[in-house]
């Protein structure tokens, strides 16, 4: 499967939420066939098509984790909690009104691994899932 775009969420000003954005230059070199688009406006998410690939910080995980089922995302306490609650809410809403068919989230753990460990795990997950 080939993918042309992966949306990368984060906030450069918030330490626990900026790692996905810092990884973009490394990912662009490793996967030149994929566009890694820095994305911060969930209001524009509806313009990204019915199949969406995302990289974002995720709380309550120890390693890079692929989330295939957005029903696992909870805005409170459950299996996964996306750091940006608004993103989880928006994805669920879009699914409910049939605006999206498929979402794959590459979840980046917060404060559990080094940048290089996360980058290596992320590259492996992207390679096995998208390339």
- 37's CB contacts (< 8 A; 6+ apart) are 5, 6, 7, 8
Confidence band, pLDDT 50/70/90 cuts, at residue 54: very high
* Pairing mode, strands 65-67 and 102-109: antiparallel
The range of the structural domain enclosing residue 23 comes to 5-128
Q: Return the residue matching tokens 């973009």.
A: 24
Domain count, the chain: 1
Please indicate whether residue 66 or residue 77 has the higher confidence score (pLDDT).
66
| pLDDT confidence of residue 75 | 58
Query: Can you give the pTM of this predicted structure?
Result: 0.87
> Can you give the CATH number for the domain in which 102 is found?
3.40.50.1450
The structure tokens listed for 54 are 């995302």
Return the bridge partners of 6, or none: 36
pLDDT at residue 70 is higher than 80? yes
Average pLDDT, the chain: 87
């Amino acid at each position: 499967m080939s993918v042309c775009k992966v949306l990368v969420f984060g906030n450069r000003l918030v330490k626990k939420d900026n790692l996905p954005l810092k990884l973009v230059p490394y990912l662009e070199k490793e996967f030149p066939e994929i566009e890694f688009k820095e994305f911060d406006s969930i209001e524009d998410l509806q313009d990204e098509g019915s199949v969406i690939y995302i990289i974002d910080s995720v709380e309550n995980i120890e390693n890079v984790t692929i989330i295939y089922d957005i029903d696992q995302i909870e805005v409170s306490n459950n299996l996964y909690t996306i750091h940006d609650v608004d993103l989880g809410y928006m994805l669920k809403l879009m699914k409910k009104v049939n605006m999206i068919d498929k979402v794959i989230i590459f979840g980046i753990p917060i404060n559990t691994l080094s940048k290089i460990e996360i980058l290596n795990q992320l590259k492996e997950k992207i390679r096995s899932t998208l390339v």
